[in-house]
Structure 1
């Protein structure tokens, strides 16, 4: 199984990798830390599963680069890329946020609207009906997210 982990925060990326390693199966894990690096990897490699943060920088953050404009819904841009390229890959959105604020819509109607994780999950399923998308609340203190992610991955493994 080939897994792409798209996460810009090192501690969270390491925690996700640890969960995958502890499942105990043969897999290859690749990492992307921004919308740009994720879409570039998806253009040249195939993946069986994606673990995706929702809030991502535009570019990888380095000592010399601040990452560009932060994207509260950068993960959605990665899913849109998959859709444009007709790449159907199961996705687990793993986010530390309990809710997201929609700052702007093209018509201005959603300025300041807050979206809960349940609403985010529903919105993603509506916007991307061909994708198996799970939304998991990441927490540095409570480990429930680990069993949720393990369960999603084990379900996928059984399907192969």
Structure 2
């Protein structure tokens, strides 16, 4: 199984990657740290992924000497990536792994439950669900494992 892990937080990415490697035999985990690197990995390469593990908020660019911050943190970058995947017919089963219960600010704030409902409707043929990640608790591991088991390819 080939998985693309899209996560800008290095510690969170490491914990998710290590859990997936321990849980799934013969798994390959590639990583992308920004919207643009994820888009390139999914749409501009010949690698076929079986699953995408997707953060919801991330910068547009990878951190580099030219772009030390990676750009502003985009609250809905994950949803934007799903939109690009749909437009480009790259309908890889996708699980959102987030440590936030809401996204956006003020009147534009959207709860994870409302966002989940929106994504289930808009991307029903490849959005699998979401997992609430917490460094302090292990419940996310059970949730992720269940969603991964439900994906057959």
Task: Determine if the TM-score, normalized by the shorter chain, exceeds 0.5.
Answer: yes
Asked if the contact 2:128/2:147 (under 8 Å) is kept, the reply is no
1:71 alignment counterpart: 74
Bigger mean CA offset, 14-23 vs 113-122? 113-122
Q: How many residues align?
A: 150
Asked if the contact 1:93/1:136 (under 8 Å) is kept, the reply is yes
Could you tell me the TM-score, scaled by structure 1's length? Answer: 0.87
Q: Deviations over 1:102-121 (max 9, x none)?
A: x5xxxxxxx62322211111
Could you tell me the TM-score, scaled by structure 2's length? Answer: 0.91
Structure ID, larger Rg: 1
Q: Structure 2 CA distance, aligned partners of 1:13 and 1:124?
A: 23
Structure 1 stretches of at least 4 aligned residues deviating more than 6 Å after TM superposition? none
Q: Structure 1 CA distance, aligned partners of 2:144 and 2:39?
A: 22
1:100 alignment counterpart: 103
CA RMSD, Structure 1 to Structure 2 (Å)? 1.5
Asked if the contact 2:3/2:30 (under 8 Å) is kept, the reply is yes
Q: Flag structure 2 segments of 5+ consecutive residues without an equivalent.
A: none
1:120 alignment counterpart: 115
Asked if the contact 2:119/2:127 (under 8 Å) is kept, the reply is no
Q: Structure 2 CA distance, aligned partners of 1:59 and 1:132?
A: 23
**1:49-60 counterparts in 2 under 5 A?**
49-60=51-62
Q: Deviations over 1:59-110 (max 9, x none)?
A: 0013542112321001112111211110111111000101112x5xxxxxxx
